[in-house]
Amino acid sequence: MYLKIETYTKNESTSIQEAFGESLTLVGKIISKKFKRVVTGGKSSKPVPFLFSSLTQKFIRELLEIRHRVDIVRKTNPYLFANPKSERSWMSGYHVIRKLATKCGAKNPSLMTSTKFRKQIATTLQVLTMDNNEMEQIAKFMGHTQKHTPSSIGCLKKYIRLLK
């Protein structure tokens, strides 16, 4: 999957966001307010949405600043996660994972696939990158409120903190 810097930095029009927002569930609407949504092309030019938390956006800003100051990636490479050895290609997560799975000495490196990791990482990161406000919003959506069950939100927060 590739993502060009230009695609990441441009903002979608309000009408597109509003149309998209109308089709979301309540959880989707809560999440969409907290994340930057970027759509890029995937296999067969199908649109693939990415959601970036504010913390991830901060890291990407820093990555881009460093990239402009240091000559690691060629200036002509338009990709956010650029291949430093190329003028016009991106890093392939599939190939990186396959190489690392073999090098780390895993018993079954073929079982360590980008698809399996992507699903696991997506699930975990959604929980791990939540701040207190986001956790409270999810807890409220799940039916827990501080007024009625303060211990429920506390348990949820404690559980999520243990995962970190």
Measure the CA angle with vertex 130, ends 56 and 155; round to 5°. 160
- Which of 50 and 14 is assigned the larger pLDDT? 50
**pLDDT averaged over every residue in the chain:** 76
| 32-69 per-position pLDDT tens digit | 777 888 888 777 777 877 878 889 999 999 999 999 89
Contact by Cβ (8 Å): 112, 120: no
Query: Which residue ranges make up each domain of the chain?
Result: 1-91, 92-127, 130-164
pLDDT at 29 over 90: no
Separation of alpha carbons 37 and 32, rounded Å: 7
Write down the pTM of the prediction.
0.59
Residue 37's DSSP bridge partners are 51
Amino acid occupying residue 160:
I
Contact by Cβ (8 Å): 1, 94: no
Separation of alpha carbons 145 and 15, rounded Å: 33
Separation of alpha carbons 16 and 9, rounded Å: 16
Separation of alpha carbons 21 and 113, rounded Å: 32
Please provide residue 53's backbone torsions phi and psi, each rounded to the nearest 5 degrees.
Answer: -70, 165
Residues of the chain above pLDDT 70, percent: 64
| 149 band by pLDDT with thresholds 50, 70 and 90 | very low
